């Protein structure tokens, strides 16, 4: 009985394959020789993996990072002085929000997957990286989180616009939005075209 059942399953599979082949032959018969046949390759995936390799690794938080682009209060005050002051304020705020206790590391795999622990809870998803634009996008449950990111040797720099950083700090700290906003109130100043975030080092 078992042998007969196996034979029936094999017969069904053979018929299914034969039908698929017949349909394909029928499609080829109606193929217009004048049409252009485009064969897709995996060049996009190769480019994606090559980009991922540029930022792949196990990274841990080192200190605050400030990225200034174009005209801003930092440009008016002088980048070295203003950046130093802003980094000190960020460092004080991050300590107040206890970021290192709740989140301090992130893993980026060479095949485009990210993983981190937030307040002891593991989180993971996929990411994309655009080396030319220096944009890293983490996706979690379909939600994208974009950042200005680049790697310099054994360091990874990740920066966000101030509104996005406030939202991220609110999530990472586990505190209320008002408590987070109070800790980072200095960001409400005229820091136009300034992005702030994290300098990370290899574990």
pLDDT in tens, 142-164: 899 999 999 999 999 999 988 89
User: Has residue 168 got a pLDDT over 80?
Assistant: yes
Residue 139 lies in a domain: yes
Residue 200 has what pLDDT? 97
User: Has residue 7 got a pLDDT over 60?
Assistant: no
pLDDT in tens, 20-31: 333 443 433 333
Residue 104 has what pLDDT? 87
Number of domain units in the chain: 1
Residue 12 lies in a domain: no
For the segment 88-92, the average pLDDT, to the nearest whole number, is 92
β pairing state of 194-202 and 143-152: unpaired
Q: Which one, of 71, 85, 97, 87, lies nearest residue 157 by Cα?
A: 87
Residue 69 lies in a domain: yes
The domain in which residue 158 lies consists of: 46-202
Q: Which one, of 182, 167, 202, lies nearest residue 56 by Cα?
A: 202
Residue 23 lies in a domain: no
User: Has residue 59 got a pLDDT over 70?
Assistant: yes
- Dump the DSSP string for 151-168: EETTEEEEEEEHHHHHHH
Q: What is the pTM of this model?
A: 0.73
In eight-state DSSP terms, residue 192 is T
User: Has residue 138 got a pLDDT over 60?
Assistant: yes
Residue 77 lies in a domain: yes
User: Has residue 10 got a pLDDT over 60?
Assistant: no
User: Has residue 84 got a pLDDT over 60?
Assistant: yes
User: Has residue 64 got a pLDDT over 90?
Assistant: yes
Residue 5 lies in a domain: no
Residue 13 lies in a domain: no
Residue 69 has what pLDDT? 65
34 vs 111 pLDDT, higher one: 111
112 vs 188 pLDDT, higher one: 112
Q: Which one, of 60, 68, 62, 65, lies nearest residue 87 by Cα?
A: 65
Residue 188 has what pLDDT? 74
Residue 70 has what pLDDT? 55
Residue 33 lies in a domain: no
Residue 41 has what pLDDT? 57
The CATH number for 177's domain is: 2.40.128
User: Has residue 125 got a pLDDT over 60?
Assistant: yes
Q: Tell me the average pLDDT of the chain.
A: 78
């Amino acid at each position: 009985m078992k042998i007969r059942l196996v034979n029936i399953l094999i017969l069904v599979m053979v018929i299914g394959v034969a039908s698929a082949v017949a349909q394909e032959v029928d499609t080829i018969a109606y193929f217009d020789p004048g049409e252009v046949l485009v064969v897709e390759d995996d060049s996009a995936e190769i480019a994606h993996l090559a980009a991922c390799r540029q930022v792949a690794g196990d990274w841990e938080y080192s200190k605050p990072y400030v990225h200034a682009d174009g005209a801003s209060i930092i440009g008016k005050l002088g980048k070295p002085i203003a950046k130093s002051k802003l980094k000190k304020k960020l460092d004080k705020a991050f300590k107040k929000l206890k970021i290192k206790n709740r989140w301090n590391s992130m893993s980026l795999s060479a095949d485009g997957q990210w993983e981190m622990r937030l307040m002891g809870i593991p989180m993971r998803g996929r990411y994309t990286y655009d080396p030319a634009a220096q944009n890293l996008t983490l996706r979690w449950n379909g939600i994208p989180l974009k950042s200005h990111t680049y790697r310099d040797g054994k360091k990874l720099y990740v920066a966000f616009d101030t509104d996005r950083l406030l939202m991220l700090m609110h999530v990472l700290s586990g505190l209320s939005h008002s408590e987070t906003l109070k800790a980072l109130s200095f960001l409400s100043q005229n820091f136009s075209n300034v992005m702030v975030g994290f300098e990370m080092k290899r574990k």
